[in-house]
Amino acid sequence: MLTLRRWWEQAPATTLFTALAVVVYIITAVQSRSLMNNLSASSLGDAWLLYGPEVSTGGLDRLRALGAAFLHIDLGHVAINGFLLMLIGREIERFAGTALYTAAFLTGAVGASATVLWMDWAQPTAGASGALFALMMLLVGVARVSGGDLRAPLAFVGVNVIYTFLAPSVSLWGHMGGLLTGGAMLFFFVHPDVRVRWAGVLAVLTASVVAVGLV
């Protein structure tokens, strides 16, 4: 079993993102005095929750498009997303390196938020699942170029897409936005030329940031 030290050595960005989500959850839980409804009375939750009417005011509120990826509504939410992030993120980070992986994760988070703001503007949204859906798409590409079996990552994506449409509590456009953002990065992310990888990921990130800014 991997120790925390080995996780950090093999996937520092993944470990850091997961830890940040846990720390943010603890802060919101303490502020709201609740483990299962921790955004109801949390100043941090109020400041980071993705919500179109607030984002549209401009200024620092546009940072909600990123901050919301580290905000979770209850213990189960952060536990599931944290587990999936450690599982998927480690594989992608080891393939691409920490810097490019970090850029891809942030792109997935902002791209998912931009999609929510454009398609479901008045729906409050929080969680890392948008970024996770982008990573799921990239995992398919990593398996493809690494010569792995594509059935497992494709089935994983398929099951999560089906769950998205069946579960009433999840953000449809957050998940679909992450999937589309990951798809937009996919060709570039696994390209053999590292300059193409960076150019593609940064182009998608720029487009996502612009989309948030135009809301």
CATH number of domain containing 104: 1.20.1540.10
**pLDDT top residue among 106 and 6:** 106
* Total structural domains within the chain: 1
Q: Which residues of 165-184 are buried (b: 16+ CB within 10 A; e: fewer)?
A: eeeeebbbbbbbbbbbbbbb
Q: For 41-55, how does the pLDDT look when each residue is reduced to its tens digit (9 = 90+)?
A: 899 999 999 999 998
Q: Give the orientation angle of helix 12-32 with respect to helix 98-119, to 10 degrees.
A: 50
pLDDT at site 4: 66
The pTM for the full model equals: 0.94
pLDDT band at 40 (very low <50, low <70, confident <90, very high): confident
Containing domain of residue 82, as a range? Answer: 4-213
pLDDT at site 9: 79
Q: For 89-103, how does the pLDDT look when each residue is reduced to its tens digit (9 = 90+)?
A: 999 999 999 999 999
